[in-house]
Amino acid sequence: MKSIQAVTYPVLFQDKAYQKLSKLVEVNNYSTLFIMVDENTFEHCYPKFIRNLATDKRIELIEIESGEINKNIETCIGVWNAITELGGDRKSLLITLGGGVITDLGGFVASCFKRGIDFVNIPTTLLSMVDASVGGKTGVDLGVLKNQIGLFANPEMVIVDTDYLTTVTEREIKSGTAEIIKYGVTYDVNLFNEIKNNKNLDIKDLIFRSIEIKNEVVLQDPKEQNLRKILNFGHTLGHAIESFYLESEDKENLTHGEAIAIGMVCECFMSAKLLGFPIEKVNEVKEVVLNIYDKITLLKDDFSAIMELLKHDKKNINGQVNFVLLNDYENHQIDCKVPEELIVESMEFYNS
């Protein structure tokens, strides 16, 4: 499979990628390789990774606990201290091996350690492969506010190896699928139709096409002035719902994809009401979502807390929530103001 050239680095696929990584390590003469894993990727992904890496450099493992709940600045402090104690210097390389928590947090940790060391991302979940391979976003949560602290920073290389997907749960695969649906409805309806028809899906192709789309979008609009905002489709309300479930002690957390899938259904509904997005397409998206994900019922009593979280969305300006909505598939409109009643109505539509 050929590679994808992101703005300053390549996204490499499957086994040959490890040769390139070994070469990178050699050429840059890194002093130490710090491999960041969690307990799951250490057990299931690290053995393959280390077998494929050819280097005589010192290797140190940094293990953090899995889970979004640990994607915070306190975990970063722990990692910074660990790297310091292990003698990390400016010529150290940090390699992240894991899902979005590991890649987002690891990129942030590397970018701030001694004002920046190189890093390489190896996403091991479908979500992180299709979402975090390009775009340069790093960051951690502040309390329940997702990615509130972070910065833009590019890795030296990304390796996408679908072998790692055999190690993750069905639920995690579904979580990544939501992002593929997003690329489909906002940018390439053929991709959406593939998911909808759900026949002979080749996961490698879906991943490649998703990364290709995100890369096209980011290269065309690196500063998120217009087109890149489509990547937020479903995420404005979706993030608020995700945060709400994360902070609710009596509710099970949703995966990112489960929350974003609900967000997409709701934002399609808002699009229909505000921009004339065809109602049959709203129903189509809802049907695809409900075919994949269990129905969650959003309680009326919870609406106000979700609305409150919406106010902290990173894209808000002057307290005004900004949605990116759809005129049609592959046709978006940015900076849409949505009345509170319509946001509530959209959640009721999802529930119905």
**Residues found near a copy of itself in the complex (CB under 8 A):** 31, 73, 76-77, 80-81, 84, 87, 89-91, 108, 111-116, 137, 139, 142-143, 145, 147-152, 311-312, 314-319
CB atoms under 10 Å from CB of 280, counted, come to: 8
CB of 224 to a copy of itself, least distance (A): 10
What are residue 55's phi and psi, to 5 degrees? -160, 155
Residue closer to a copy of itself, measured from CB, 140 or 185: 140
CB of 351 to a copy of itself, least distance (A): 30
* Six token digits for residue 10: 């390549």
Residue closer to a copy of itself, measured from CB, 150 or 184: 150
Residue closer to a copy of itself, measured from CB, 87 or 276: 87
Rounded-to-integer distance, Cα 97 and Cα 335, Å: 35
CB atoms under 10 Å from CB of 320, counted, come to: 10
Give the contacts of 30 (CB within 8 A, at least 6 positions apart): 57, 91, 92, 93, 118
Rg over CA atoms, the chain? 20
CB of 64 to a copy of itself, least distance (A): 16
Please answer whether residues 253 and 246 qualify as being in contact, where contact means their C-beta atoms are separated by less than 8 angstroms: yes
CB of 214 to a copy of itself, least distance (A): 17
Residue closer to a copy of itself, measured from CB, 53 or 149: 149
CB of 70 to a copy of itself, least distance (A): 15
Residue closer to a copy of itself, measured from CB, 92 or 124: 92
Residue 53 C-beta-side C-alpha neighbours within 13 Å:
22
Residue closer to a copy of itself, measured from CB, 81 or 291: 81
Strands 118-123 and 157-160: parallel
One-character DSSP codes across 151-178: EE---SEEEE-GGGGGGS-HHHHHHHHH
Rounded-to-integer distance, Cα 109 and Cα 103, Å: 10
CB atoms under 10 Å from CB of 41, counted, come to: 25
Residue closer to a copy of itself, measured from CB, 75 or 124: 75
CB of 180 to a copy of itself, least distance (A): 24
CB of 316 to a copy of itself, least distance (A): 5
